[in-house]
Amino acid sequence: MGAWGPYAGGYCQSTAISNAQARADLATSRARIVAASDETRRRIERDLHDGTQQRLVSLGLRLRLAQDAVPPDQAELRQELARVTSGIGDVLEELREMSRGIHPAILTEEGLRPALKALARSSAVPVKLELGMHARLPARVEVAAYFVVSEALANVAKHAQASVVRIAVEVRRGALEIMISDDGIGGADPSRGSGLIGLTDRIEALGGTIDVSSPAGAGTQILAELPVKDSPPPMHPPDL
């Protein structure tokens, strides 16, 4: 008989079950934090769009009306109003860019497919986009996928010296698969980029995976997979 006596097997099994439960609770907690963060992002975007942006649009229109009402002999005043109107337009565009970074309205209103097309159009590096999904996906999946692509395109523009980016997104075997590759200089280190670290946390909190391959001189490839349907974390203890 071993040192632990006849209860050793039961003790180990109980510990394994307890550990499995702790892992499941942690995964649930991380998913809850991601959901709360996404809801906060949506609320801030709505507040900016329905509040601050609309007020700036209204002010711009009133300034244009005032500019049109300026007498012909007040050319200097007319020019000053034109400069202020232009400045408001610049601020409004900057605010819209900020809103898209927080949580893009197109993602909420139209879904992942149009949102990714918009990202590709605004990319500083030409994008070849292949989209194999058509129906709406769960909000948490669409948000995670959007920010994977957004962060990847930002990194390519800043660091990769690439001439083209290829993005393929499709649903297969109950998961959303995302492949992003470029023909840049490679050598990316995910551990040194807070953006990719944050994406990894988000994806893993949803039960997904992400892998980054970036050999020097051979471009960078990102492969991410997100389960489309809810699935509880495995609760089976390891074999003893």
- pLDDT of 17 reads 60
Q: Where are the domains of the chain?
A: 10-102, 106-227
pLDDT at res. 192: 67
Query: Which stretches of the chain drop beneath a pLDDT of 50?
Result: 231-240
pTM of the model as a whole: 0.64
**Token couple for 210:** 């992400």
Sheet holding 127-131, edge to edge: 127-131, 165-172, 175-182, 221-227, 209-213
The Cα–Cα gap between 161 and 59 comes to 41
End-to-end CA, the chain? 17
CATH class of 106-227: alpha beta
Identify the CA nearest to 116 among candidates 99, 101, 105, 129: 129
**CA dist., res. 21 & res. 202, Å (int):** 21
CA distance 142 to 116: 10
pLDDT 10s digits, 20-47: 666 655 566 666 666 666 666 667 666 6
Decide: 188 and 155 in contact? Cβ < 8 Å: yes
